[in-house]
Amino acid sequence: MKILTAYKAGLVGTISRLRLVTIVYLFVFIPSLLVAMAYLSAYNKAIGLYLAPEKLMHGFDYTTYTELMRFEGDGISAIVKQAFWLVVFYVPVSLFVTGGILYLITGKYKPRLASFVNGGAKYFWRILKLKFYFSFVQLFFAFIIYLPFGISIAMADDGSLNEKMVFFKLLPYLIVHLLVVIYLFTIVNYAKIIIVSKDTRKVLRSIWEAVKFVTGKFAGAYSLTLLLMIVPLLLIYVYFKVFGFLSMDSGWVVFGMFVIQQLFLWLRAAMRIWFLAGLAEYYRMRR
């Protein structure tokens, strides 16, 4: 039942840190909005005084879309490339954000921007080192898991294999890999919690502690991870089911979708904090 206690504590902790949720949300929203505004400008410029793009408002016209991109899409493509580099930039920034969240959660600090930035900066290199090690661990496990599959495919007669057989041969490996990935994901998250809660620079030692913790309390630790993933997955499912395919065919609907999407993304930020807060609480209770 400790997992339920941790689960609830994570939720309560998140609700009591709505400012932190907003900081995390804004950390993504503001730079993304800047790129999106450039995108809007490029799109407006591309549309110019053309009449045809009206067809893109009410449904989707493949010809118009393709020709718009082909003849006037250079500016739009440039912005999309910028967006790609923004995503690349956010790979390390995401580690910074995780450090900031954990610092506020485990230290029970008030969710202020300054504290968040302090925490992010303080643990950035340690979490980066942790991710670096775990990238190799992930690759190693993927190699071990898929090696027998690769051998079985390579040894099979080309003519006797078909895509359905390959898929069903691959499926058990995918399932095993998914379970292993969740296990490793659980370990890496506890390792981060250990690094921040103990304020230690010994990353490898933290990993080892996390391995012992997760393996020693496997059922609880693994179940809690799965439990904490249910609501985010449900949220994503509900969003796409209800709003994902809503046709934006008027200015008001576009605005409405913008509001709904941002609410959804804000909730996703909250889920991330809930997740870490839940694990941190479980670690505090069971260590």
Partner 1 sequence: MKKNSLLLKGIFLLVSVVFFVVAARAEKLSPRYTNYKIKAKLNPETKIVNGEMWLTWKNPSTDTVATMQFHMYLNAFKNTESTFYKESGGQLRGMSKNDNDSLTWGYVDVLSMIDDSGVDLASEIKFIHPDDDNIYDQTVIEVPLNRPVLPGDSIHLHINFVSKLPEIFARSGYSGNYFLVAQWFPKPGVYEPAGMRYATKGQWNCHQYHGHSEFYANFSNYDVEITVPEGYVVGSTGALQNVKDNGDSTVTQIYFANDVVDFAWTTSPRFEVVEDMWNDVKIMVYLQPEHRQFAARYISSLKIALEYFSKHLGKYPYSTITVVDPPISGSGSGGMEYPTFITGGSVWGLPDEVRIIEMVTIHEFGHNYFMGILASNEFEEAFIDEGFNTYYEGRIMDAAYGDSTSFIGFRYFYFGDRAMQRLGYTGMKNPKIAEVYRYAWQFPHGGYSSLSYNKTATWLMTLEGLVGIETMDEIMKIFYDRWKFKHPCARDFIEIVNEVVTKNLGDKYGENMNWFFDEVLYGSDVCDYKLASIKNKRVRKPKGLFDTIVEKPDTSATGKKLYESKVILHRLGEVIMPVEVLVHFDNGDEVLEHWDGKERTKEFSYKRSEKIMWAQIDPSEKIKIDVNMLNNGMTLEPERNVARKYMVRFLFVLQSIIQTLFFFA
- 33 vs 144 by CB, closer to partner 1: 33
Report the amino acid identity of residue 160.
S
Q: Is 161 near partner 1 (CB under 8 A)?
A: yes
Report the amino acid identity of residue 224.
L
CA-derived radius of gyration, the chain? 23
Pick the stretch among 23-31, 115-123, 140-148, 197-205 that binds partner 1 (CB under 8 A): 23-31
Asked whether the beta carbons of 228 and 279 are under 8 A apart, the reply is: yes
* Chain length of the chain: 287
Q: Is 1 near partner 1 (CB under 8 A)?
A: no
Looking at residue 160, what DSSP letter applies?
G
∠ Cα 190 116 279 (to 5°): 20
Q: Is 228 near partner 1 (CB under 8 A)?
A: no
- 98 vs 206 by CB, closer to partner 1: 98
Contact with partner 1 (CB under 8 A) among 11, 19, 22, 29: 29
Pick the stretch among 10-18, 67-75, 104-112, 213-221 that binds partner 1 (CB under 8 A): 67-75
Pick the stretch among 6-14, 37-45, 145-153, 218-226 that binds partner 1 (CB under 8 A): 37-45
Q: Is 61 near partner 1 (CB under 8 A)?
A: yes
Q: Name which of residues 88 to 107 contact partner 1 (CB under 8 A).
A: 90-91, 94-95, 97-98
Q: Is 24 near partner 1 (CB under 8 A)?
A: yes
The structure tokens 């709904």 sit at: 260
Residue 274 CB, nearest approach to partner 1 (Å): 11
- 2 vs 47 by CB, closer to partner 1: 47
Asked whether the beta carbons of 65 and 47 are under 8 A apart, the reply is: no
- Integer Cα distance of 7 and 215 in angstroms: 19
Q: Is 136 near partner 1 (CB under 8 A)?
A: no
Pick the stretch among 26-34, 143-151, 171-179, 218-226 that binds partner 1 (CB under 8 A): 26-34
Asked whether the beta carbons of 79 and 39 are under 8 A apart, the reply is: yes
- Residue 222, both tokens: 């693994």
Contact with partner 1 (CB under 8 A) among 23, 207, 269, 280: 269
- Residue 243, both tokens: 């709003």
- Integer Cα distance of 168 and 163 in angstroms: 9
